[in-house]
Amino acid sequence: MSIKITNELLDAYIDDHLEPTLTAQLEKLIRENPEIHERLSKIQQERDMGEHSPGATWRRERLSCPNREELSSYLLQALDAERLDYIHFHLNQVKCPTCLANIEDLKGNQLIGPKRETMSEFLRKSVRFLPQPDKR
Amino acid sequence: MEVSAFADKVLLGRIRKGDQKAWEEFVGHYQSRLFHLAFKRIKDRDLCDDLVQEAFLGFITNLDKVDEERNYESYLYGILQRRIMDRLRKDYRAPGVENRRDSSGNPAQIEVPDPGTGVSTWYRNEERRKIENDALAEALARIIKEYVNSGDYQKLKVMELLWVKGMENLEVSKLLNMDNRAVASIKHRALEDIKTILHEKNLSPSSFPGL
């Protein structure tokens, strides 16, 4: 399959927002084609200099992501048809990674998840990084 | 402000005061969804646990940078996604290239600059960056809100595929079963609207690649 390499596509690649198969194809092209590698570096440099593309901002701020309550309602199919259709698109066509992770979590997949004992240990150790409580 | 966003803001305020219970609540609230985000890319539970913990540590040690007026869930996801990318570039390859080796027999690497670590990061005034970033986010949020409020989800889908997924016009028109000219027109209108909003804020669109 041939891929049209737009700057927006390279931008989405930097944010790891592409499907694994497309990522693999693109990585191969980047490795083999100096011109594409150059374009990718230029986009990264622009980001380093603080220039913002619409796509990078949209992804980072999650501007069109449904909130958690809406995702719960989506699972129950308790939204109007247009909104349901859009969320379906956002999950299945855009494949938004954070919303998909939220859906997995909301489905209550107990077989896959953080280990309780590991997180308890982490909590115990991490409190030392908290700001000191105001003693006044 | 939505109820959940308000509750998050209160929780963040308590964490900033060193409230351990609030920190536990925060970790408990986000750990599972963060884990699932990591697990989608890295099918190693122990490694995912590590990455989630690194994301929480990144959050707590940068509390002063967290803007409580913004959605800090996105900030947390951003930290985790950078950790995931770092890990993928070090140890993993996407399907199809995972068996590539360099001349020493080690997994092949792609030299993609690490986001946010370039020397040029310091060239631009941090405050200016924030103003520009906020303005672009606000402009985008405004056009997205207009699409949603008017039930014009087709336009939202077009723009999301073009910008978030990086597709080209023709690909979008085929996917959404639309005329290619209609896609181009929606994109043109969105660009004009964003430029107008940026001009209102006395910002030059030339600072924004893709506009």
Contact A53, B209 (CB under 8 A): yes
> Over the stretch A80-126, which tens digit does the pLDDT of each residue have?
999 999 999 999 999 999 999 999 989 886 667 777 778 888 888 88
Chain A residue with minimum CA distance to B28 = A119
Q: Which pLDDT score is estimated for A134? A: 65
Higher pLDDT, B147 or A3: B147
- pLDDT of B207 strictly over 80: no
Can you tell me the distance from the alpha carbon of B192 to that of A74, in angstroms, rounded to the nearest whole number? 33
Confidence band for B126, pLDDT divided at 50, 70 and 90: low
Q: How confident is the model at residue A135 (pLDDT cuts 50, 70, 90)?
A: low
Q: Kindly indicate the confidence band of residue B121, based on its pLDDT and cuts at 50, 70 and 90.
A: very low
pTM to 2 decimal places: 0.77
Asked whether residue B94 carries a pLDDT value surpassing 50, the answer given is no
Query: pLDDT band at B43, cuts 50/70/90?
Result: confident
Whether the pLDDT of residue A67 is over 50: the answer is yes
Rounded to the nearest 10°, the torsion over CA B121, B124, B127, B133 is: -80
Q: Which two structure tokens, joined as six digits, stand for A2?
A: 């041939």
DSSP conformation letters of B136-190: HHHHHHHHHHHHHHTT-HHHHHHHIIIIIS---HHHHHHHTT--HHHHHHHHHHH
Higher-confidence residue: B91 or B98?
B91
A27 or B190, higher pLDDT: B190
Long-range contacts of B157-161 (CB under 8 A, 24+ apart): B157/A86, B157/A89, B157/A93, B158/B183, B158/B186, B158/B187, B159/B186, B159/B187, B159/B190, B160/A58, B160/A64, B160/A90, B160/A94, B161/A93, B161/A94
Look over chain B and give the mean of its residue pLDDT values, rounded to a whole number: 81
Rounded Cα distance between B205 and B210, Å, is 9
Residue B13 pLDDT > 60: yes
Mark yes or no for CB contact A94/B164 under 8 Å: yes
Select the residue from B17, B164, B197 to test the A interface by mutation, using most A Cβ atoms within 10 A.
B164
Predicted pLDDT at A108 = 81
CB contact A38 to B (< 8 Å): no
B107 backbone dihedrals φ, ψ, rounded to 5°: -55, 135
Q: Do B120 and A45 contact (CB within 8 A), yes or no?
A: yes
* Structure ipTM over 0.90, yes or no: no
Q: Which residues contact B148 (CB under 8 A, 6 or more apart)?
A: B156
Three-state DSSP at B135 gives: helix
Distance between terminal CA atoms of chain A?
66
Q: In the prediction, which pLDDT does B92 show?
A: 44
Please report residues of A whose CB lies closer than 8 A to that of B115: 14, 44, 47
Q: Is B103 in the A-facing interface, judged by CB distances under 8 Å?
A: no
Which residue of B lies nearest to A115 if distances are taken between CA atoms? Answer: B49
DSSP per position, A8-30: HHHHHHHTT-S-HHHHHHHHHHH
Q: Do B166 and A68 touch (CB under 8 A)?
A: no
Q: Choose the closest CB to A12 out of B18, B156, B166.
A: B166
